[in-house]
Chain A
Amino acid sequence: MSALSSLILFFLLATSAWAIECSPVDLRNTPPGRAMGPVRNQGLMPWCAAYSMADMLSFKTGECYSGMSLGINFASDAEGGWWNQISNGWNGTNMMTSGHFYNFPRMVRGNSGKPICLEKDLPSTDNGPMRNLDLLRRIGDIRNQVGMFGSCSQEQFNSVKAVFPNLSFREVQLIMATTLTPNIHKYLMRSNCSRNRRYCPQVQPGIYHEFSKIDEQLSTGKIAGIGYSSSVLKNPAPPPNRGGHMSTIVGRRMRNGKCEYLLRNSWGRNCGGYIYPCEEGNIWVPKERLKEATGDVYTLN
């Protein structure tokens, strides 16, 4: 009889542990989750770490922050100055590594306490006929052409306004005339968002190698970032590595006896090409597949 009781007790404990491990969580529609807004689209901007940090910061504070603004702060300061990179044979590769997933901890430290923009003032989505990366580079060129005492042409102003939509011709002119080239993007950004200026809270990154950190975060109502191979989303073959991209995990559920995680990507609201169930750019990825593709788990503390 006692053996039977032990067996039943063991079964109950095992079942409840299993249930906790994959209990349903969906943080998209909680009040802090809603602040993240629709899934962003980084287009050809290689700043997945900035976009993920924007999601995590928006979730933490309840206001939707611009990933673009976090990327500009980081690239301007933490990387030793944007213009230095460009003048040292910049070809896009440097900016690639700036926003790379493994730079998330430096991205957090590089933004902590700094002025940042809301998404509505500095949209993170890549731009119209000219890519944001090219536009940012062009803005540095414009500053060099205009010099301290020159004036912008309408065409040059249009390039600036494409990235920083709130600035007037006069404001751009003034900043161009009073700012050195390495600081130009940072000061244009700050002026662009001056009406709704925010300061990034003093935050610290958490870096973990244990996949179980995701469950720990979700169980306490928090989201987590992951550095992982994005091939897992669109290709059933084993992932070639455990890095290359960063996204956030915002939910978990049990479906057909298997645990799935809700991955909030930054490739826009469309779902085409994902091999797993997708809801407006959020993808339900099976645990075992996500685990084999994930290198690090990141938190914002």
Chain B
Amino acid sequence: MSILLTSVLLLVFSTAAFGSEKLKCHKGELRTREFGEVKILRSQFCTDKIGTILISEPFHKEVALGKIIPPSQSVNPGWVFCESLKGSPEMVDILIGKTWYELDRCLFKDGSYIDTGSLFELGVQE
């Protein structure tokens, strides 16, 4: 009976893990544009399989955790939040497999970065 219960629980947990967002962390390539010049950088980061999340390794979430997000209506609120934290928002391309996926990131002075959507999730709305 206890073996059966354990099996059922294991099945439930493995299904839940399968359904959740999975990030893959590795040393990969990012492409940036600086005054029209394209630069390719190798960096350690975590991303999902379609390039909608980007978090450098390491990234210290305390930089944004619980901080107030300034109000904004039209412009990208993640970019506004990034600038309020003294970060620099910019566009990057992430290489996943053989495809480049465009995304943005908030780059901090220590070289760490995070996509502005994930950054927004760390803050608190007024």
Contact = CB atoms under 8 A, between A and B. Distances in A.
A234 B75 CA distance: 14
A44 B117 contact: no
Interface string B26-60: 00000011111000000000000011110000000
Given A38-B102, A129-B34, A272 B91 contact: no
Interface string A229-257: 11100110000000011100000000000
Contacts of B102: 38, 41, 125, 268-269
* Interface magnitude class on chain B: 20 to 34
A38 B103 CA distance: 10
B76 A42 contact: yes
Contact of A269 (B32, B33, B89, B101): B101
A54 to B, nearest CB: 15
B88 A129 contact: yes
Contact of A44 (B33, B52, B73, B89): B89
A159 interface: yes
B78 interface: yes
Interface in A124-139: 125-130
B104 A43 contact: yes
Contact of B103 (A99, A101, A158, A270): A270
B73 A270 contact: no
Interface stretch (B1-9, B10-18, B118-126): B118-126
Interface string B82-126: 010000111100000000011110000000000111111100010
Interface of A: 38, 41-46, 48, 96, 99-101, 125-130, 158-159, 161-162, 165, 229-231, 234-235, 244-246, 267-274, 280-281
29 contacts: A43-B75, A43-B79, A43-B104, A44-B80, A96-B74, A126-B89, A126-B90, A127-B91, A129-B88, A129-B90, A162-B34, A165-B36, A229-B73, A230-B73, A244-B73, A245-B74, A267-B76, A267-B78, A268-B102, A268-B104, A269-B102, A269-B103, A270-B52, A270-B53, A270-B117, A272-B53, A274-B117, A280-B50, A280-B52
Interface of B: 32-36, 50-53, 73-80, 83, 88-91, 101-104, 115-121, 125
